[in-house]
């Protein structure tokens, strides 16, 4: 998985670009939140700097995952089309300084490194894009589904934690 590790500051300074695609099946945390491991994500990462000269990465994630509808308990394809700006900090202290300086909740400040794992970043982005309580816009008629299948699905849904609770635990960030 070497292709997913970058030197974050060099990547930004040289304004590098990288893109690729990942299977949901390759992302264990996303798989755990999904109804099954079908689906794939296209991603792109662009290095640069913000108006104040901070090193930044722009990440886009575009694709679809199978989520369990919390109303009718059948899986459906949820489209992810997400872009975020990440400002790179040297360490936690520097991250706090930049956050205070930017004073903008929509911009994430992350601690960069020479061995920055962008696969984690892509997975985080996808997890944050997933609704906490996914539902069909309009549920299909499920009266034909067998009662056994519905019961089995219900047990699985009951065990699941919200993606936000899981992310908090893993990242320790707000």
Q: Which residues bind Zn ion (CB under 5 A)?
A: 69, 71-72, 136, 139
Min CB(80)–Zn ion separation in Å: 18
Min CB(53)–Zn ion separation in Å: 47
**Token digits of residue 23:** 């299977």
Min CB(45)–Zn ion separation in Å: 34
Q: Kindly tell me which of 90 and 160 has the beta carbon lying closer to Zn ion.
A: 160
Ramachandran class of 40: left when φ > 0, alpha when ψ lies in -120 to 50, beta otherwise: beta
Min CB(152)–Zn ion separation in Å: 16
Q: Kindly tell me which of 72 and 85 has the beta carbon lying closer to Zn ion.
A: 72
Q: Kindly tell me which of 71 and 168 has the beta carbon lying closer to Zn ion.
A: 71
Residue number with the smallest Cβ distance to Zn ion? 69
Yes or no: say if 159 and 95 are a contact pair by the CB < 8 Å rule: no
Q: Kindly tell me which of 28 and 131 has the beta carbon lying closer to Zn ion.
A: 131
Q: Kindly tell me which of 35 and 110 has the beta carbon lying closer to Zn ion.
A: 35
Min CB(131)–Zn ion separation in Å: 13
Per-residue HEC secondary structure of the chain comes to CHHHEECHHHHHHCCCEEEEEEEHHHCHHHHHHCCCCCCEEEEEEEEEECCCCCEEEEEEEEEEEEEECCCCCCEEEEEEEEEEEEEEECCHHHHHHHHHHHCCCCCEEEECCCCEEHHHHHHHHHHHHCCCCCCCCCCCCCCCCCHHHHHHHHHHHHHCCCHHHHHHHHHCCC
């Amino acid at each position: 998985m070497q292709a997913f590790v970058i030197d974050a500051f060099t990547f930004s300074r040289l304004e590098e670009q990288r893109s690729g695609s990942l299977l949901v099946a390759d992302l264990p945390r996303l798989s755990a939140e999904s109804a099954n491991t079908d689906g794939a994500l296209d991603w792109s990462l662009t290095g640069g700097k913000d108006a104040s000269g901070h090193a930044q990465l722009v990440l886009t994630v575009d694709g679809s995952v199978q989520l369990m509808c919390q109303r009718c308990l059948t899986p459906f394809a949820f489209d992810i089309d997400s872009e975020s700006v990440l400002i790179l900090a040297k360490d936690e202290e520097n991250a706090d300084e930049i956050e205070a300086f930017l004073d903008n909740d929509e911009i994430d400040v992350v601690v960069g490194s020479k061995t920055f794992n962008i696969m984690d970043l892509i997975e985080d982005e996808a997890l944050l894009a997933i609704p906490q309580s996914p539902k069909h816009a309009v549920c299909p008629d499920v009266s034909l589904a067998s009662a056994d299948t519905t019961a089995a699905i219900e047990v699985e849904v009951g065990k699941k934690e919200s993606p936000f609770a899981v992310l908090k635990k893993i990242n320790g960030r707000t």
